[in-house]
Amino acid sequence: MRSIVAVLSFSLASMAVADELWVVGADDDESSVHTLSQVSIDAIPDEYASKEVQPTLQFRCAWGETTFRIDWGRFISSFNTEVGFRVDGGKATWLKLSVDPSNKMTIGNTGNTRKLIEAIGDGEALNVEVAPYSEPSVFVNYDVATFTAALDELEAACN
């Protein structure tokens, strides 16, 4: 019985909430992948302008390597695209990201991830800009005030 309680306690701990915005957990499809995610503060229209979606920023760690992705919840592009990241209203950092087969998710490699983590630093607010194919840019915001502590929690779970 104690071993069952210990396993349940460990499972709950691995799905800890880093704070009210960042969620640390494990990937549903890949148990060796640990995640840190946040849903955007604001919503954007989907590609049909029929509903609003809130993109999710997710950092993923496996085998000591961290990458990130943004699930936009709507069509973005069918090929690599540039995404702008602006911290606390400063100068934007533009990264060329790949796009997954659904065309709704942009994915950063480890180099892009290092650049984004460095750009966020001790910032408070992250504004993300992308121009969906043949459409005007859309912008979403994330609260990154507690990002460093949440990232430390992700890296501890990953190692």
Q: Domain residue spans in the chain?
A: 2-158
Contact 58, 24 (CB under 8 A): no
What is the model's pTM?
A: 0.86
Rounded to the nearest 5°, which phi and psi values hold at 138? -120, 150
Pair 66, 157: CB distance under 8 Å = no
**Pairing relationship of beta strands 44-45 and 138-143 according to DSSP bridges:** unpaired
SS3 call for 132: coil
Helix (H) and strand (E) counts in the chain: 3, 11
Q: How confident is the model at residue 17 (pLDDT cuts 50, 70, 90)?
A: very low
Average pLDDT over the chain, rounded to an integer: 88
CB neighbours of 158 closer than 8 A, spacing ≥ 6?
34, 61, 62, 63, 64, 66
Query: Given a cut of 50, is residue 9 above it in pLDDT?
Result: no
Per residue in 54-84, pLDDT (tens digit) is 999 999 998 889 999 999 999 999 999 999 9
Phi-psi region of 152 (alpha: psi -120 to 50; beta: other; left: phi over 0): alpha
